């Protein structure tokens, strides 16, 4: 099986929980005899540390990163508020990443496209245009729940309503995405139960952190 793994931050070297979860899945698939191609986003918060990537990993995954400036921008946030786009997601979309994805899909055939987290779902439309391979969302968290917790802890009374608005947007987006993908790989049984309650017909499974 040939897998294209699309990551919202570099999975290697694994420096935090999210990158470790992605890296563990990559190495697990490789050890099982599958081919894995990795494309990831490099950000100011999570930059690609090229010099720290083992040569064996580089050769086996053909890992490539595209820099995307995901830094908070008040103007972009206000624009997304007007257009009803979710700023938490839209700042991960980049024309440069889109072009790299098109090149990758145009040059190779894949059996599965694996989206690592909700933050890679802005690229679903491009994936659909350039391949018939099924799309599987690997959900690391229920992102709307994370945003709701941030909203609850927000001390600024002016920011709190906006945080709640983002949380609702994320919840609506999560539901809409289930209609556009072919499967879900949840990281926990509780997350899996949540997704099954929303879309029982969609193929789903649990792929734990380790």
For 24-74, the pLDDT digits (tens) are 999 999 999 999 999 999 999 889 998 999 999 999 999 999 999 876 655
Q: State the DSSP H helix or E strand holding residue 19, giving kind and residue range, or none if neither.
A: helix 17-31
Q: How far apart are CA 54 and CA 12, in angstroms?
A: 9
Long-range contacts of 104-108 (CB under 8 A, 24+ apart): 104/4, 104/37, 104/39, 104/64, 105/4, 105/130, 105/131, 106/130, 108/2, 108/4, 108/37
Token pair recorded at residue 110: 């894949």
Per-residue confidence (pLDDT) for residue 160, from 0 to 100: 67
Buried residues in 96-134 as b, exposed as e (16+ CB within 10 A): ebeebbeebbeeeebebbbbbbbbbbbbbebbeebbebe
Radius of gyration of the chain from its Cα atoms, rounded to whole angstroms = 17
**Domains of the chain (ranges plus CATH)?**
2-206 (3.40.50.2000)
Alpha-carbon distance 51 to 170, whole Å?
Answer: 35
Answer with the residue of higher pLDDT: 161 or 201: 201
d(CA 194, CA 203) in angstroms, rounded, equals 13
Q: For residue 115, name the pLDDT band (cuts at 50, 70, 90).
A: very high
- Which pLDDT score, from 0 to 100, does residue 14 have? 87
């Amino acid at each position: 099986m040939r897998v294209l793994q699309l990551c919202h931050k570099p999975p290697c070297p694994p420096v935090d929980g999210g990158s470790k979860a992605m890296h563990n899945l990559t190495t697990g698939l490789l050890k099982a005899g599958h081919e894995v191609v990795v494309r990831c986003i490099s950000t100011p918060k999570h930059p690609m540390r090229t010099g720290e990537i083992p040569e064996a990993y580089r050769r086996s995954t053909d890992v490539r990163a595209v820099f995307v400036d995901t830094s908070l921008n008040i103007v972009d946030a206000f624009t997304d508020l007007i257009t009803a786009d979710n700023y938490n997601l839209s700042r991960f979309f980049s024309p440069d990443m889109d072009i790299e994805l098109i090149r990758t899909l145009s040059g190779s055939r894949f059996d599965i496209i694996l989206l690592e987290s909700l933050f890679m779902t802005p690229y679903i439309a491009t994936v659909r245009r350039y391949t018939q391979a099924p799309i599987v969302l690997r959900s690391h968290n229920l992102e709307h729940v994370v945003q709701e917790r941030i909203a609850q802890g927000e001390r600024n009374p002016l920011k709190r309503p906006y945080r709640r608005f983002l949380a609702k947007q994320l919840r609506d987006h999560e539901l809409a995405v289930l209609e556009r993908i072919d499967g879900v790989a949840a990281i926990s049984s509780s997350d899996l139960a949540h997704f099954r309650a929303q879309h029982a017909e969609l193929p789903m499974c649990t792929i734990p952190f380790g």
